[in-house]
Amino acid sequence: MSSAEDIPIIVEFTGGLEMLFADERKHKLSVPAKDSKGDAVTVGWLVEYLCDELMRDMRKEMFVLDGHVRPGILVLINDADWELEGEATYALQPNDNILFVSTLHGG
């Protein structure tokens, strides 16, 4: 059944967030199309998935704080602010590019 297949996506980290993910900026992932309840996977689901499956660093709070992506991190879905796309509820599509940007402050 095609709906049960995995979907390929690209997840990228920049602005220092890559340090939490083994210093790799770009990750080609294959994620299940449906979550455990049988619903289409969303960006919100992906954030949890990244914490559980991809992140080796113990500083989870540098990525997720109080159940939300930590303040100071922008989430971009195919180069657009996720707030333009429904935020955490956006359903992942094959070949989506999800970029997490930590804001910089130095100058």
Partner 1 sequence: MDSATKTAERLRIQIAATEEQLKNLKGQLADLEAQSLGNSFQNVSVQEELDPVTHEKWPLAAEDYKRYGRQMIVPNIGIQGQLRLKNASVLIVGAGGLGCPAAAYIAGAGVGTIGIVDGDEVETSNLHRQILHSTSKVGMKKVDSAILYLKSLNPNLKYNAHTSHLTPENSQGIVSQYDLVLDCTDHPTSRYLISDICVLLQKPLVSASALRTDGQLIVLNSPPLLAGNEAGGPCYRCVFPKPPPAESVVSCGDGGILGPVVGVMGVLQALEATKLIASGKLTSSGSEEAKKDASMLLFSTNSNPPFRSVRLRSRRPKCFACSAEAGLTLEGLSSGSLDYVLFCGINVPVSILGRDERIEAKEYAKLKTENRTDHLLVDVREKVQFDICSIEGSVNVPFSSFQGSRFKEGDGKQPTWIPQSLPPDAPIYVVCRLGNDSQVVTKRLKESGLNKNGRYIGDIKGGLKSWKEQVDSSWPEY
- Tell me whether residue 37 or residue 105 sits nearer to partner 1 (CB atom): 105
**From residue 70 to residue 89, what is the string marking binding to partner 1 with x (rule CB under 8 A)?**
xxxxx-x--xxx-xx-----
Q: According to the binding rule CB under 8 A, does residue 65 interact with partner 1?
A: yes
**Residue 42 neighbours by CB under 8 Å, 6+ apart:** 88, 89, 90, 91, 92
Q: At its nearest, how many Å lie between partner 1 and the CB of residue 61?
A: 8
DSSP code string of 47-95: HHHIIIII--SS-GGGTEETTEEPTTEEEEETTEEGGGTTGGGPBP-TT
Binding flag, residue 15, partner 1 (CB under 8 A) = yes
Query: Three-state SS for 40?
Result: strand
Q: Which residues bind partner 1 (CB under 8 A)?
A: 14-16, 19, 22, 25, 56-59, 61-62, 65, 70-74, 76, 79-81, 83-84, 99, 101-107
